[in-house]
Amino acid sequence: MSSVVGAPPTSMPVSETTEKSGGGLNPGSLGPVQVLFLIVTGAAPLAAMVFNVPVTVNGSGFAAPAAFLIATVVLTIFSVGYIEMSRRVSSIGGFYTFITRGLGGMMGLASGLLIAFCYIIFCAGVLGAFGYFASTSLDAWFGFSLPAAVYMAIGLAAFAAFALFDIELTAKVLGTALVCEVLTLGILAVCVFFAGGGPDGVVVGGLNPVNLFNNDSAIKVFGGAAVGIALFGAFWSWVGFEMAPNYAEESRNPKKIAKIATYGSVIGLGIFYVILSLVFVSGYGKIGAAQAVADQFAGKSDSAWYPLAQHFGGSWLKFLFELFMITSSFACSMAFFNTGARYLFSLSREGLLPKAFAQTHAKHKTPVNAALAVTAIVFVWNAAFTISFPDTLSALTKIATWTPLMGVMGILAVQAICSFAIIRYFAREAKDGFHWWKTGLAPLVGGLAQFGAMYLLISNRAGLGAAEGQVFIKYFPEVIVGMFLLGCAYALYLKSSKPATFAAIGAFETDAAPIEEPLHGTRGLPSTA
């Protein structure tokens, strides 16, 4: 069996990791439900619906549920190979480790640095949404007017404080926020369906993918139907679903939990999104849904969901939407904060980033230094935006809109690379686990679909960012590509100057056998032959 160029000859157990890095994470602290909470709050169901359903309706009119249905199927197919990989390799490194095992150290390191950056700026972007909704809602309720930047600073300080405590506490906080979001959306769904929908009843035709094309409602209101925008709006809603492996070292049974949490989040969120997008188009009607989105984009309402909640549930339901948009964006941002910190931790304990980031809290075993590094990066990122665009509205239209566009592109690219890494890993290094569907065709389809979604993002970025001609919107694809190439250059430098460090890229595994016991494919690790 030939070895992967640059891949580690064997895996290294966590016990050796802690000796090198000065601390390990808290093992066995998370069960499947807690990991699921950490993942799903990263997807932020309420925030996803409030932000992304209008985007999807903008491109597809009343056929928005069909776009979410297609995305559910595609991402479920992607998850098949991803889960098979997580059953073989349990590591906090997630994508970084998987890609290293399949495509070697250079691709793994470049992907790891890029995905860490994307999760960190996602934290920054959603924190902008938190600042906006906190500022506008508290002002409307109590006349307590503070700029969004103040609330962003408060939220970031809270993230750093939570990083000092056990991850289980964070899971409880995020889980509580998630339950509130789901209940609020569920109440609206019951109200709309119980009333038999709006002017056109329950718009079951919205589930038909054929209606994505030449949709009359989108053409009448928007002048056209941009299927690319519709599908991207749907795919965008799942960002964060792949986080399960990042909590491997803190899970009680990482291989089992990764499967439950990943399928649970992809399929569970998919069903939820399809139903809620159907609620939206049914509540407003075929033409009304598109018009409500057009009114939102014109500034006539803070969100097209708020009048819908007011009409079918009353002012109390509208208040819940406003309240839980604050908690949803807070929880979502904190979930990305945690994942970004764990990527920095994983990279630093292998000597790829400063060793200080690999230090953990003496009592709670959380990656506190990595979390503080994320805090600093997010602060600088959002401060730069705030200085450039100081008004509160820009926290939503600039920080919370432009930043995620860049992050989504990076994540889609890494997911696509990971799909092809899975195929090569099982075809070359873990032949005993190769399956024509699970580790062959499924990741191939999933990877091609990720590239397709990335193309939709790039080609529609001016419309999605509502900022045609802006330097950030125009050049962020080049920035993402440039960062990946810099990661490749760094890997080549390590290979020539620090071969031992390069050889250890992606080596740490949660439950690996000792390093002197090579497994030669029994767990799918690269052979040295």
Residue 255: pLDDT band with limits 50, 70, 90: low
Residue 77: pLDDT band with limits 50, 70, 90: very high
The radius of gyration of the chain's CA atoms, rounded to the nearest angstrom, is 22
Q: Which residues pair with 201 in a beta bridge?
A: 198
Residue 513: pLDDT band with limits 50, 70, 90: very low
Measure the CA–CA gap between 101 and 267, rounded to whole angstroms: 27
Average pLDDT of the chain is 82
Measure the CA–CA gap between 267 and 264, rounded to whole angstroms: 6
pLDDT at 392 over 60: yes
Q: Are 264 and 271 a contacting pair, CB within 8 Å? A: no
* Maximum Cα–Cα distance across the chain: 70
Domains of the chain, start order: 12-509 (1.20.1740.10)
Across 360-424, the runs of DSSP E, i.e. the strands, are: none
The pLDDT score that the predictor gives to residue 399 is 93
Least confident of 418-422, 488-492, 504-508, 521-525: 521-525
Least confident of 42-56, 71-85, 364-378, 441-455: 42-56
526 CB contacts (<8 Å, ≥6 apart)? 3, 4, 7, 8, 9, 101, 429
Least confident of 19-33, 48-62, 178-192, 453-467: 19-33
Measure the CA–CA gap between 353 and 357, rounded to whole angstroms: 7
Per-residue pLDDT, averaged over 453-468, amounts to 79
Residue 362: pLDDT band with limits 50, 70, 90: low
Q: How many CB atoms lie within 10 A of CB 18?
A: 17
Q: pLDDT tens, 206-225?
A: 999 988 887 777 777 766 65
Residue 358: pLDDT band with limits 50, 70, 90: confident
pTM: 0.82
Q: 35 to each of 152, 260, 460, how far by Cα in Å? A: 26, 9, 34
Per-residue pLDDT, averaged over 73-93, amounts to 83
Percent of the chain with pLDDT strictly greater than 90: 45
Per-residue pLDDT, averaged over 116-140, amounts to 93
Per-residue pLDDT, averaged over 156-184, amounts to 79
For the record, the structure tokens of 126 come out as 């959603």
Q: pLDDT tens, 413-430?
A: 999 999 999 999 999 988
